Structure formats: structure tokens, C-alpha cells
A and B are shown apart, each in its own frame.
Chain A
Amino acid sequence: MTPDGQQDALRLRGLSKTYGGKIAVDKLDLDVRAGELYALLGPNGAGKTTTLRMVAGLLKPDAGTIELFGIDALKDPSAAKQITAWAPDEPLLYDKLTPVEYLDFVAGLWGVDPKVGRKRTEDLLKWLDLWDQRQQRCEGFSRGMKQKTSLAGALIHEPKLLILDEPLTGLDAAAAREVKDLLQERARAGATVILTTHILEVAERIADRIGIIARGKLLAQGTLEELRNQTGADQSSLEDVFLRLTAEPTP
């Protein structure tokens, strides 16, 4: 629970993961509030993707707890997955399926009622400008169209928590804009969105709060203003704050 009595969308405590002796995530504590758009930033190899993959149930942590809207994701993964959607940088697609067939499959995986599934499919494809391509196989789609189809799949079961790893990778300006608008719109509609990105301007513009992670540990989190205060860098851009926080200590 947050201090104002609201339930956290995500609550990580002491989360750890090691790969062959190398620590990827190191006793990480993190809270994301319900309904916010949270950007998790960090340099390459900081542990962002590993953290999110553990939250999405794709990786087993070595230690720690994961709670999604009060559900213990390690004890009841099925219930946690029911309210979550995972969208990595590489779209989760089948080239030989059409967008409608893909959404039929994803809706089935989440047990969406058939009538509701059909209605949402039509709405999502129209909203994402994919309606005219609904009968074409995804193999001929551009990167942006594939990313949008994958996002439609992530939204078909109306998840309470949407987790995206580098959702803007490889998108042109127009497609990136559409995806950013979509994420803000989902957050406005009450969903919680957690994303990682290397494009700091994106985090600066659309995120309600930002977490900065390095070497598997959370260095700081808060709004941009709060981060500036924490680093004593008034009027600085997020890039300056980020670089100050993640700079390797000189020996």
C-alpha cells in the first residue's frame, strides 16, 4: 500500500538474480503506483530487462518477492499473469498469421470471452490503423506495423499492468509517436505502464515517475523534479541527471 492508502501496482522486495556468478539484479526494492506511467532507465547491462522479465514471470528470481496488485507473483503466477501484459522490443508475432488470427490466439491464451475478444479486436485494429491489413499475414508488415500488432495483442485482455521493454526500438518518428500516445492513453484509462527505454527524452516527456538502475541496484526514483533535487542538479535535463547518477565512481 502507498502512504495515501492506494494499492501499489508493483512491489519488489530484495529481488536478486545472478547469471553464472555475475550479479544482474542485486536485492532490488521497487514500488510502482497503480495508474502511473513508470520509466525504468539504466545503462546497458544495468538489470532493467532482467527485472522486468522476472516481473512478467519469464525468469525465476534467485531471491526476493514480487507483488502485482497485492498478488504474490511467485506463489500464484497464473493470477499475476492474468492481469499483466509483456511486450519486449522484438514483437511477439507469428509471421504466417494475420493480425486477426494473432489476436484470436492471444485472446484465447488469456481466456477472453469470444464475443468480447471479437469486439476488442475490431476496436484495437481500427484504433491502431491496422484494420485495412487485418487479412494480411504479418510477414509483410513494416517494423512499426509489427510493433503495433504486438501491442494490440498485449492490450486484448485489458491488462492492469503493461510491461514494455524498449517499445520504441526501430520505429520511425510517426510510429514512435503513435506508440507513445497509446501508452499515455492506457495510463489515462487507469492501466499501469512500466517501460524501459534508452531514449531519455521519451521518459522525460511521458513518464509520471522515473527509476534509475545501475549494476542491479536502484539508484534513485521519482518525478524529474525529485530526481533533480536528489542529485542537486536544478534545471538540468534528465540526461544530465542520468549521467551523474550512473557515472562509474573513479578509483
Chain B
Amino acid sequence: MSTPSGASTFLLLGNELRLFWRSWGGKQKGARGRLIGFGVALAVIGFGLGWPFALLLKLIPKDPGPELTLGLDGGLLLLLTLMMSSTVSSAALAFYERGDLDLLLSSPTPPYRVLTVRCASMAIMSSAFFMLLATPVIGPAVAMGHPKWLLIYVVLIGLALIATSLGLMIATTLFRVIGPRRTKTLSQVMAAVIGAALFLTSQLRWILPPEQIKGLWKSALDFSRSGPFANTQILSLPARAVLCEPIPGIVLFAFGLLLFLLVTRWLGARFAQNAAAAAGVGAGGRRVARGGIRGFEGGPYGAMVRKEVRLLLRDPALLSQVLLRVLYLIPIAALVLRGGSMRTTAWLMGGGAGLLFGPDTWIARSGAVLVFLTTQLAGTLAWITVSAEDAPELLASAPAKESILRRAKLTAAMTPVFIILGGPLGGLVYLHPWAGIVTAIGCASAALSACLIALWFEKPAKRKDLRRRRSGSLLGALAETFISFCWASATWFAVVKLWWAVVPALLAVVILIAIRKPVRSFVEVLELA
């Protein structure tokens, strides 16, 4: 008698990808047309922008020297780390996201196969973004008669397989060492810290004194020239893979695939045990309060603020995102303390227009950066508090005024923003009252804009679904980014007392007016949920 082997890997993978596609609205009416239209627009814009870069590919020497090899290896390592920042938390979530997990594990399908499929879809998703990003450059390069650059996709998939395997090993080790409950929290915090570490590394130039940077750079070059990155050495392999040499590229992919298969096979049995242990997380309760019955003050407004603040504080994924934003402040703080140049940082964080047209003073740049960060933080928190609601029927069936409840939600969302940015703002007011006041106004305008966008583009969902989907409105996200840029520029100009400040400020207001929508009532939101 033959033993039933359960669902095949391809069937499971097909199902996983179908669910992913549908979670992005792929089955909705007109989705295919919209996607094709979006794809064509993206391709036209992307290829237009990518063409000059594709020409630059020609300039890369056939035999990279040790310096270029070191640089490319470093770039690949950064990319791997970036991919790992998402695969660590996704791998841990693979144990917790029930979805169809109970069904699959109760079927004759071997657990390692379930794990393989979950991780394969993770690898596909983490490489897809970078493949999409590479296409505008690779496409023209191939069109110019260099098909070898297609190998970059194979390299990216290989890298994603390595990142997924490492993420899975880290998650499983955490599970074993600190248990299921802490793993869930720590993996999310780790993902944020890895992302922040990458950012901080890229900003080392601004954080460390110039002499130290020069010293580090010289040591790295000396090391690279001492032999380990020579063409015949193994450390040159990743760089040559990036340059699309066939054998290194295939070796990197094969290594990724082998590691992936070994890790999923090896951890397959443990996966079933971990998933079972994760299912019990929360059972038995978690004590969060002491003493008797407190609260109950402040009517609907106070009750809503308390509830939202509690939920924000108990959401480790969200906290890690906020932590990430706080870590972004480090290079700015370093620059402000040093009073040195921060041209690139300011450019990256939204003072671009100011940098092009305005005087280059550190105080103006700090203001612009603070305004940009305000929009980032306010946007994330307002989006979560407005859209994530686990009991929408409770709100819709309550007699409390909807406007009061929404205001309370936004108050709760803005509280951490003011706590985090209050210190730097206070410091700015102390150092330079005019700049401090102008920046405070810029921050308030940016926060208000983020709140309005969160209200207008509300996408009602349960908190955990919202986190899983991470999908908001594209128009809302674009508008938020552009408006944050406008307020940052306006602040910059206003700090240096240039009347030009009116232009970006007016532009922000015009965009807000153009995208405004009526706020949906709770009953209408219920129908959408």
C-alpha cells in the first residue's frame, strides 16, 4: 500500500501565489486592466530613466580591480541584509500566521513541504521588488545587445534564497532560545534594527568625523589590494556574479538553492512543532495591568484615546517602525551637534527644493528634516489608528458622535509624534527661536496633512490583516510623500525668511484640496470592511 504524500509543492506554491495576488485586489473587477495600464506607464517611465544607466554598464571593465570587487561585494552584502530585514520577520510570522496552516499541517502533506512553499513565496516576494527595480536598466541593456545582463535576475533570486534561509535559521533559533511569544516581537524589532543599521551605515559619512572616514576608507582599500579580492579568490565570486559572469552567477544561485533546500528540509520537522507552539501563544493570558479598576474618565473621547494608545503600545510591529524612524534621527542629531554640512541627508529627507534654491544653513536643514520625519511618523500612526479597527460594529452601534471618536483616534496617533519630536523641536526653539517656531508650524501642518490623508483614504481592516497586507492607497501614499516634501521645503525657506516659502506651502494646500474626499461614516466603513 502506498503512503499518501499530500499536496505537491507546485500545487501549494500556486495556491500561495494566488492568495497573495488576490490580497492585492488581483481578482477585483478591472484589476487586470489597471495593472496592465500601470505596468505600461511604469515601463515607459522606467525605460526612459534607465537608458542612460544602461549605457553606463558598458563602461564597467571586464576585469574588475580589487577596489571595484570590494565595492560590489559590499553592495551585494547590503542587498542581502536589506532582504533579510524582511525575511527575518516574515520567517517568524510563518509560524504564527494561521491562515491555511492548520489545514495544511493536518493533511498528509509533509511539514517540510509546507515550509518550503511558504519560504519560496517569501523569497519570490523579497526578490520581486529588486527585480522590478533592475528592469528599467537591464531592459535597455539587453535591447542594446547585451543579453548577459539577464543573469542579474538569477543572481537576485539566488540572493533572496540565501536571505530567506538565513531569516528562517534566525527565527528558528530565536524560537528555541527565547520561546514563541518573544520571538514574534523580537523578530519584528530585529527587522527594523537591520533596516536602521543599513541606513546608519549609509550615513556614516555624516555621523563620523571626516578624518575617521578617511582612515576607514584607506584601510578598506589597503585590505582590498592585499589580495583577498583578486580575480582568482573566492571573495571575487559575488562581485563577478553581479557583473553577470555566467559561472559565478550560476554558482551563487546554486549555492542559494542548495542552502534553501537544506535548511527547509532540516527545519521542516521543527516547523510543525514551532507552528503548534505558536498557536498557543496568548493562551493562558498575559497580565498587563495591576490593581483594581481604573479609567472610565473623559467620556467617548477619553475612552477612545486610552484604547488607541494601549493598542499602539501593544503592537510590536508598529513600535519597531516607530523605532526605525527614531533611529533615522541619529545622523541628523550628529550633524546638528557638529553643526557641519548635511547636504546629502537633507536632500534625501525632503529639503531637496530648499537645497537647490535656498541658502544652505544647518538650522534650516534641520527644520526641513524634522518636518519630513513628522509626516513619516504621523502618516504611519494615523493610517494605523484610523484604518485598523477590530470592532467597527461596536463603534457604529454606539451613540457617541463620530467626529469625536475620529478626533480621539488622531489624538492618540499624534501623541507619540509629539513625544518623539518634542525634544528636537524644543532644542531648536532654544537655539534659534524663529527657526524653532517656524519648524513647529511646519511640523503641525505636516501632521495635519498626514491625518487628513489617513481620514480620506481610510482602508478599513482588522489590525492584523492591515499589517499583513500593508496596502494603502497608492494615490494617498504619493500625495503624502509629495506634501511632506512641500512642507519641508516651505519650512526651509521660511526659516531663512524667504518669501518663496509661500510657493511650496500653497502647493501642499492645493494638493490637499485636489485629493480631498468626504470622510466615510462608520456605517459606510462597515459596508467596505
Which A residues fall within an 8 A CB radius of B? 56-60, 77-79, 81-82, 84-86, 88, 92-98, 100-101, 104-112, 114-115, 117-118, 121-122, 133-137, 139-141, 153
B285/A140 in contact, CB under 8 A: yes
The verdict on B298 contacting chain A, using a C-beta distance below 8 Å, is yes
B523/A153 in contact, CB under 8 A: no
Given that A94-B311, A94-B391, A100-B293 are known contacts, is A81 also in contact with B397, CB under 8 Å in the complex?
yes
Nearest Cβ in chain A — how far from B309, in angstroms?
A: 11
Give per-residue flags for B270-288: 1 if the beta carbon is below 8 A from chain A beta carbons, else 0: 0000000000001111111
B391/A92 in contact, CB under 8 A: yes
A110/B293 in contact, CB under 8 A: no
A57/B311 in contact, CB under 8 A: no
- Residue from B286, B290, B303 whose CB has the most chain A CB atoms within 10 Å: B303
From B287, B296, B307, B398, give the contact of A114 (CB < 8 A): B296
B397/A86 in contact, CB under 8 A: yes
Given that A104-B296, A108-B303 are known contacts, is A58 also in contact with B283, CB under 8 Å in the complex?
no
What size tier do the contact residues of chain B reach? 35 or more
B306/A86 in contact, CB under 8 A: no
CB contacts under 8 Å to A, within B476-529, are 523, 526-527
22 A-B pairs with CB atoms under 8 Å apart are A56-B397, A81-B397, A82-B399, A92-B393, A94-B307, A94-B390, A100-B295, A101-B307, A105-B303, A108-B400, A109-B300, A109-B304, A109-B405, A114-B295, A114-B296, A115-B296, A121-B296, A136-B287, A136-B288, A137-B282, A140-B284, A153-B394
B396/A111 in contact, CB under 8 A: no
Given that A58-B523, A94-B311 are known contacts, is A84 also in contact with B297, CB under 8 Å in the complex?
no
A108/B304 in contact, CB under 8 A: yes
- Residue from B390, B394, B396 whose CB has the most chain A CB atoms within 10 Å: B394
B295/A109 in contact, CB under 8 A: no
A57, B287: Cα distance in complex, Å? 35
B397/A84 in contact, CB under 8 A: yes
CB contacts under 8 Å to A, within B225-261, are none
A108/B289 in contact, CB under 8 A: no
A96/B289 in contact, CB under 8 A: no
What residues of A have a CB within 8 angstroms of the CB of B315 in the complex? Answer: 96
The verdict on B310 contacting chain A, using a C-beta distance below 8 Å, is yes
A112/B296 in contact, CB under 8 A: yes
Give me the 7 closest cross-chain CB pairs, A-B, nearest first: A108-B303, A136-B285, A109-B398, A114-B296, A139-B282, A140-B285, A81-B399
B285/A137 in contact, CB under 8 A: yes
B295/A88 in contact, CB under 8 A: no
From B286, B301, B393, B395, give the contact of A137 (CB < 8 A): B286
B300/A108 in contact, CB under 8 A: yes
A97/B296 in contact, CB under 8 A: no
The verdict on B302 contacting chain A, using a C-beta distance below 8 Å, is yes
A84, B399: Cα distance in complex, Å? 9
A117, B297: Cα distance in complex, Å? 9
From B282, B289, B396, give the contact of A140 (CB < 8 A): B282
Given that A58-B523, A104-B296 are known contacts, is A95 also in contact with B287, CB under 8 Å in the complex?
no
What residues of B have a CB within 8 angstroms of the CB of A93 in the complex? Answer: 390-391
What residues of A have a CB within 8 angstroms of the CB of B400 in the complex? Answer: 108-111
A136, B282: Cα distance in complex, Å? 10
B299/A58 in contact, CB under 8 A: no
Given that A58-B523, A104-B296, A107-B303 are known contacts, is A96 also in contact with B393, CB under 8 Å in the complex?
no
A108, B301: Cα distance in complex, Å? 8
From A58, A81, A100, give the contact of B526 (CB < 8 A): A58
Nearest Cβ in chain B — how far from A147, in angstroms?
A: 14
The verdict on B314 contacting chain A, using a C-beta distance below 8 Å, is yes
Nearest Cβ in chain B — how far from A99, in angstroms?
A: 10
What residues of B have a CB within 8 angstroms of the CB of A139 in the complex? Answer: 282, 286
Apart from A94-B311, A106-B394, A110-B398, what are 6 other A-B pairs with CB-CB below 8 Å?
A56-B393, A97-B310, A107-B303, A109-B400, A117-B296, A137-B282
Kindly report which residue of chain B lies nearest to residue A86, judged by CB atoms: B397
What residues of B have a CB within 8 angstroms of the CB of A81 in the complex? Answer: 397-399
What residues of B have a CB within 8 angstroms of the CB of A134 in the complex? Answer: 293
Nearest Cβ in chain A — how far from B257, in angstroms?
A: 38
What residues of A have a CB within 8 angstroms of the CB of B397 in the complex? Answer: 56-58, 81, 84-86
What residues of B have a CB within 8 angstroms of the CB of A57 in the complex? Answer: 396-397, 523
Nearest Cβ in chain A — how far from B230, in angstroms?
A: 56
- Residue from B289, B295, B397 whose CB has the most chain A CB atoms within 10 Å: B397
What residues of B have a CB within 8 angstroms of the CB of A60 in the complex? Answer: 523
What residues of A have a CB within 8 angstroms of the CB of B527 in the complex? Answer: 59
A141/B314 in contact, CB under 8 A: no
What residues of B have a CB within 8 angstroms of the CB of A108 in the complex? Answer: 296, 298-304, 306, 400
A96, B400: Cα distance in complex, Å? 23
A101/B310 in contact, CB under 8 A: yes
A115, B295: Cα distance in complex, Å? 10
B282/A95 in contact, CB under 8 A: yes
Nearest Cβ in chain A — how far from B319, in angstroms?
A: 12
- Residue from A82, A96, A98 whose CB has the most chain B CB atoms within 10 Å: A96
A78, B282: Cα distance in complex, Å? 36
Given that A94-B311, A118-B296 are known contacts, is A109 also in contact with B394, CB under 8 Å in the complex?
yes
Given that A78-B399, A82-B399, A137-B282 are known contacts, is A98 also in contact with B288, CB under 8 Å in the complex?
yes
A94, B306: Cα distance in complex, Å? 13
A153, B307: Cα distance in complex, Å? 14
What residues of A have a CB within 8 angstroms of the CB of B390 in the complex? Answer: 93-95
B298/A101 in contact, CB under 8 A: no
Nearest Cβ in chain A — how far from B285, in angstroms?
A: 3
Nearest Cβ in chain B — how far from A185, in angstroms?
A: 22
From A78, A86, A105, give the contact of B304 (CB < 8 A): A105
What residues of A have a CB within 8 angstroms of the CB of B296 in the complex? Answer: 104, 107-108, 112, 114-115, 117-118, 121
A58, B525: Cα distance in complex, Å? 10
A100/B304 in contact, CB under 8 A: no
What residues of B have a CB within 8 angstroms of the CB of A97 in the complex? Answer: 307, 310-311
What residues of B have a CB within 8 angstroms of the CB of A85 in the complex? Answer: 397
What residues of A have a CB within 8 angstroms of the CB of B311 in the complex? Answer: 94, 96-97
What residues of A have a CB within 8 angstroms of the CB of B401 in the complex? Answer: 78
- Residue from A84, A111, A115 whose CB has the most chain B CB atoms within 10 Å: A111
Nearest Cβ in chain A — how far from B242, in angstroms?
A: 44
Give per-residue flags for B377-395: 1 if the beta carbon is below 8 A from chain A beta carbons, else 0: 0000000000000110111
What residues of A have a CB within 8 angstroms of the CB of B298 in the complex? Answer: 108
From B293, B295, B394, B405, give the contact of A122 (CB < 8 A): B293
A95, B251: Cα distance in complex, Å? 48
Kindly report which residue of chain A lies nearest to residue B305, judged by CB atoms: A108
What residues of A have a CB within 8 angstroms of the CB of B283 in the complex? Answer: 140
What residues of B have a CB within 8 angstroms of the CB of A98 in the complex? Answer: 288-289
Nearest Cβ in chain B — how far from A169, in angstroms?
A: 15
- Residue from A82, A100, A105, A111 whose CB has the most chain B CB atoms within 10 Å: A105
